[in-house]
Amino acid sequence: MKEQKEDIMKTPFKILIILLLPFYLFAFHDHEKTKSHHKHSALEQFLDSTENYLAYIYDGLNHTARFIDETITGERSKHIYDENYIHVQSYYDVVQSAKNSTGVNVRIKIKLPNLKEKYKLILENDDNKVANEKYNDSTETVDYKDDKYNLGLQYDTLKKDVNLKFKAGIKLRANSYAFLRASANKKFTMTDSWYFKVFETLELNTKKNLENTTAMNFYKDINKKLEFVNHNEYYWNEKDRIDNTYNSLRINQQLNHKNSLNYVAGLSSNDSSSNFQTKHYDAYIAFKQYIRPWLYYDVIPKVFWNRDNNFDAKYAFRFNLGIIIGK
């Protein structure tokens, strides 16, 4: 009984230490920056060389975009190809009572202006992100959607203030299959500082499965460096016939032009047992720093509670390292 009471007392302390880690990291970085401001370290020289190498990769990406564009249309292009990009992010996850894991997320966007100004060729594996195009920081994801790669041709357009996207492509699996996706979102302004967005996505694939995501985000500009976001999402999969919901509260804080903090608390629910129940809670703080405009890292300590584990607190830690080539 005494040991159980000590564990209960330790739990809030552990949660506090984990969530305060990004603040310590930012304070340490700020202190070290003042000490080594005038030193040109070996690391900085290495980053300078890497930046030159990435410039060659970016040129190669733009030449590839021109080649694909001219091959599809059969016409010489007079366009300037400088709006393509590659975003590669590697991650390392440490989860209490689970095996550590690593992985890589990739997003490649190639614009095809010769085909039509609004067409893009996109390779990505971020379908499991929440429907929130504004904060593409790879921290807020849902486990009821997959994160496997897909390659497709996307068409973007704007009709009566509604952003429309149509994408057709292939889900890259051991048994790959084709898919067609249509999505729309629209912004509604309530006051000078409050607005909300509505998102709708439908996806049909050759496995005779239909997926639907409906979401609504509320935004509040607190000041120039703080913003509040409330995300609410409903997802339905015809094949599994499970209703999934995800809700989160988020505060985004811009510390300076290189550093930011995101404070997030979320919960997910479903009715897999014909009984709508909350399955998972989590809370985390994500510290992001741009070492260079093209190089960043995230430090993300997290606390979570799962129904399968009787909602006992578990701890997790993620480290992201990302490179962005192009715009």
Residue 60: burial class (beta carbons within 10 Å; 0-12, 13-18, 19+): exposed
Task: Indicate the SS3 state at residue 12.
Answer: helix
Q: Looking at residue 261, what is its pLDDT? A: 92
Q: Number of H helices and number of E strands within the chain?
A: 2, 14
Asked if 284 contacts 301 with a C-beta cutoff of 8 angstroms, the reply is yes
Instruction: Give the distance from CA 203 to its chain's centroid.
Output: 20
Block residue for tokens 């510290």: 287
- For residue 224, report the phi and psi dihedrals to the nearest 5 degrees: -65, -20
The reply to whether 184 falls in a domain is: yes
Does residue 273 fall inside a structural domain? yes
Half-sphere exposure of 192 (CA within 13 A, CB side): 2
Q: What is the dihedral of CA 323, 128, 102, 60, to 10 degrees?
A: -30
Q: Is residue 124 part of a domain?
A: yes
Q: Are 132 and 246 in contact (CB under 8 A)?
A: no
**How high is the pLDDT of residue 238?**
85
Token output for 110: 């190639």
Q: Tell me the C-alpha distance between 19 and 10, whole Å.
A: 14
| Alpha helices (H) in the chain, listed in sequence order | 2-35, 42-73
Q: 95 lies in a domain?
A: yes
At CB < 8 A and 24+ separation, what contacts does 182-186 make? Answer: 185/131, 185/133, 186/161, 186/162
Q: Which amino acid is at 282?
A: D
Predicted local confidence at residue 215, as pLDDT: 93
CATH number at residue 176: 2.40.160.40
Q: What residue numbers bound the domain in which 127 lies? A: 83-326
**Residue 233 contacts residue 251 (beta carbons within 8 Å):** no
pLDDT at residue number 4: 47
pLDDT averaged over consecutive 10-residue blocks of the chain (327 residues)? 46 54 53 51 83 90 91 88 90 91 90 84 81 55 80 90 94 91 94 93 91 93 93 88 89 91 92 78 93 92 92 93 88
Tokens in use for 250? 């988020």
The reply to whether 229 falls in a domain is yes
Q: Residue 289: inside a domain, yes or no?
A: yes
End-to-end CA distance of the chain: 58
What's residue 3's pLDDT? 46
Q: In 160-241, where do the E strands start and end?
A: 162-171, 177-189, 194-205, 209-221, 226-237
Residue 248 lies in a domain: yes
| CB within 8 Å of 302: residues ≥ 6 apart | 18, 282, 283, 284, 315, 316, 317, 318
How confident is the model at residue 16, as a pLDDT? 53
What six digits make up the tokens of 219?
A: 């935004």
β-bridge partners, 185: 163, 199
Non-local CB neighbours of 26 within 8 Å, separated by 6+ positions:
255, 259, 261, 287, 289
Question: Residue 290 contacts by C-beta under 8 Å, 6 or more apart in sequence?
Answer: 257, 258, 259, 296
Alpha carbons 170 and 145: distance in angstroms, whole number: 16
Task: Give a yes or no: residue 322 inside a domain.
Answer: yes
pLDDT for residue 163: 92
Asked if 106 and 149 touch (Cβ cutoff 8 Å), the reply is yes
Q: Which residues 6+ apart lie within 8 Å of 116 measured at CB? A: 155
Predicted local confidence at residue 199, as pLDDT: 94
Total count of domains within the chain? 1
